[in-house]
Amino acid sequence: MTSPSQLANDTHQLLKHWRESVPDDRLAHLVRDVARAQMRALQQRLAPFGVSFGHWTFLRILWIRDGLTQKELSDLAGVMEPTTFSAVKAMETMGLIERRQREGNRKNMHVFLTPAGRALEKKLVPLAEEVNHISMRGLSDKAAATLRKSLLSMIENLAAEESGGLGDEGE
User: Binding a second copy by CB under 8 A: which of 109, 116, 119, 154?
Assistant: 154
Amino acid identity at 11: T
Cβ proximity to a second copy: between 108 and 157 the closer is 157
In the window 2-31, what residues touch a second copy (CB under 8 A)? Answer: 2, 4-15, 18, 26-31
69 counts as binding a second copy under rule CB under 8 A: no
What letter would DSSP give residue 109? E
119 counts as binding a second copy under rule CB under 8 A: no
Cβ proximity to a second copy: between 116 and 134 the closer is 134
Own/partner contacts of 128-137, CB < 8 Å, gap of 24 or more, are 128/42, 128/56, 130/45, 131/38, 131/41, 131/42, 131/45, 132/38, 134/41, 135/34, 135/37, 135/38, 135/41
The DSSP line for 114-162 is -HHHHHHHHHHHHHHHHHHHHHTTT--HHHHHHHHHHHHHHHHHHHHHH
135 counts as binding a second copy under rule CB under 8 A: yes
Stretch that binds a second copy, among 83-91, 93-101, 115-123, 132-140 (CB under 8 A): 132-140
Q: How far is the CB of 71 from a second copy (least distance, A)?
A: 11
User: Binding a second copy by CB under 8 A: which of 105, 122, 141, 155?
Assistant: 155
44 counts as binding a second copy under rule CB under 8 A: yes
In the window 73-112, what residues touch a second copy (CB under 8 A)? Answer: 75-76, 78, 80
53 counts as binding a second copy under rule CB under 8 A: no
Q: Say if residue 121 is exposed, middle or buried (CB neighbours under 10 Å; 0-12, 13-18, 19+).
A: middle
